[in-house]
Amino acid sequence: MKIAVLPGDGIGTEIVDQAVRVLKAMDLKFEMEFAPVGGTAYESHGHPLPESTLKLAQNCDAILFGAVGDWKYDQLERQFRPEQAILGLRKHLGLFANFRPAICYEELVGASSLKPELISGLDILIIRELTGDIYFGQPRGRRIAVDGHFPGAEEAFDTMRYSKPEIERIAHVAFQAARKRSKKVTSVDKANVLETFQFWKDVVTEVHAQYPDVELDHMYVDNAAMQLVRAPKKLDVVVTGNMFGDILSDEAAMLTGSIGMLPSASLNDKQVGLYEPSHGSAPDIAGKGVANPLATILSAAMMLRFSLNQAEAALRIESAVKKVLASGLRTPDIWSVGTQKVGTKEMGDAVVAALAVQ
Ligand code: NAD
């Protein structure tokens, strides 16, 4: 088994360092190889996703990714911007299924902006389709309108589209994930207005026939956005398209209080995956040693479970993280009165120490 480790920019290096320490402390058999990505790779290789980094990623069983991006690259031509590295990896590796769990740890209930009783025990899995929808549909662009409300005016347009196989494969992923949880899937669409999402709903319903043991319900995206803040615990596995998933998964992330706690996985049909924290490169705190490494450490746990077939080791990491939180240690983003503030490395030390006493 081989893991490509791509720390990237900003806090990427700091948080990935801690996840790598945790992985090494597990005493498992795999190789890790580091490579530059994002702005760092642009500086050293003239491209955010150099050929050598892409090749390494293509030849590994999993990718542990930090974060990319910095405001200093905002002026670059789009193809050279750090964020293009993630899009390139998704495309070249066919990473179509994005798993974003939103779990509220009991010790962090107070960090949420929602009332404790609404989020205590929260454990939602949002599964977002990642390679289709309006983000990738062609044609797109700007032109002079020939019809509409203002013919002759400049306009911009995108194309929302999904093919049947694209919907089928993400629906299978969702139903299979639900079988390992509470056997309930909510498919989020906008079938009342959009042709694409009526089709989405029809295809998900068709695939559901193969999973009679799993309950399926459908929800319009506006209602889903509302239910996430009204009664989030009623949801379990949520499956949706690229754009709705983008928005809902960030909303779900904030239910738990801090983006520094949330892991994510993007998988292809061979279970090869890219594992990264849900947050970005946080240039505002980079180099200060205060970033929360837990989202990255929990992403490493997801990697062990989904791509490296090491579910038991994943559980060990997750329970070590819970133990550390229970002991009262907090990075500044999750700190509250009565807990002990620590930096990135101290948090990593604590997780490694908690693993040792299991
Ligand atoms: P961000 O997620 O980097 O930061 C948002 C806020 O959350 C900041 O105040 C930051 O300090 C804080 N934060 C984020 N992660 C944290 C952690 N682990 N511990 C403590 N605090 C944390 O989002 P942004 O500021 O909008 O974007 C910064 C850069 O990151 C941009 O260049 C953006 O394009 C990029 N970005 C990259 C990814 C990725 O690599 N997948 C995702 C989102 C944004």
Which atom of ligand 1 sits closest to the CA of residue 71? 32
Residue-level pLDDT at 350: 98
Sign of the Cα pseudo-torsion (138, 142, 144, 149, in order): positive
* Residue 298 near residue 351, CB atoms below 8 Å: no
Sign of the Cα pseudo-torsion (287, 325, 298, 276, in order): negative
* Residue 33 near residue 5, CB atoms below 8 Å: yes
**Is the distance from the beta carbon of residue 291 to the nearest atom of ligand 1 less than 6 Å?**
yes
Delimit the domains of the chain by residue range: 1-95+268-358, 97-267
Residue-level pLDDT at 259: 81
Residue 346, SS3? Answer: helix
**Is the distance from the beta carbon of residue 98 to the nearest atom of ligand 1 less than 6 Å?**
no
* Residue 198 near residue 227, CB atoms below 8 Å: no
Which atom of ligand 1 sits closest to the CA of residue 8? 40
* Residue 42 near residue 87, CB atoms below 8 Å: no
Tell me phi and psi for residue 182, to 5 degrees. Answer: -95, 15
Which atom of ligand 1 sits closest to the CA of residue 293? 18
**Is the distance from the beta carbon of residue 292 to the nearest atom of ligand 1 less than 6 Å?**
yes
Amino acid at 68: V
**Is the distance from the beta carbon of residue 280 to the nearest atom of ligand 1 less than 6 Å?**
yes
Residue-level pLDDT at 110: 82
Q: Which residues contact 241 (CB under 8 A, 6 or more apart)?
A: 128, 129, 132, 133, 162, 188, 189, 196, 197, 200
Active site residues: 135, 190, 222, 246, 250
Burial of 255 (0-12, 13-18, 19+ CB in 10 A): buried
Tens-level pLDDT at each residue, the chain (358 residues): 999 999 999 999 999 999 999 999 998 989 999 999 999 999 999 999 999 999 999 999 999 999 999 999 999 998 999 999 998 999 899 999 999 999 998 888 888 889 999 999 999 999 999 999 999 899 999 999 999 999 999 999 999 999 999 999 999 999 999 999 999 999 999 999 999 999 999 999 999 999 999 999 999 999 999 999 999 999 999 999 999 999 999 899 888 877 889 999 999 999 899 999 999 999 999 999 999 999 999 999 999 999 999 999 999 999 999 999 999 999 999 888 889 999 999 999 999 999 998 7
**Is the distance from the beta carbon of residue 281 to the nearest atom of ligand 1 less than 6 Å?**
yes
57: left (phi over 0), alpha (psi -120 to 50) or beta: alpha
Alpha carbon distances (Å) from 314 to 22, 193, 252: 11, 41, 22
Q: How many CB atoms lie within 10 A of CB 234?
A: 12
Which atom of ligand 1 sits closest to the CA of residue 70? 32
Residue-level pLDDT at 336: 85
Per the listing, tokens 């509470």 go with 182
**Is the distance from the beta carbon of residue 14 to the nearest atom of ligand 1 less than 6 Å?**
no
Among 42, 278, 281, 344, the mutation site with the greatest number of ligand 1 atoms within 8 A of its Cβ is 281
Question: How remote is the CA of residue 351 from the centroid of ligand 1, in Å?
Answer: 23
Supply the residue whose CA is at minimum distance from atom 44 of ligand 1.
280
Alpha carbon distances (Å) from 294 to 18, 78, 352, 354: 9, 31, 12, 13
The CATH code belonging to domain 97-267 is: 3.40.718.10
Burial of 104 (0-12, 13-18, 19+ CB in 10 A): buried
Same fold, 1-95+268-358 and 97-267: yes
pTM: 0.90
What is the longest distance spanned by two Cα atoms in the chain? 71
Question: How remote is the CA of residue 309 from the centroid of ligand 1, in Å?
Answer: 30
- CATH class of the domain whose range is 1-95+268-358: alpha beta
**Is the distance from the beta carbon of residue 316 to the nearest atom of ligand 1 less than 6 Å?**
no
Residue-level pLDDT at 33: 98
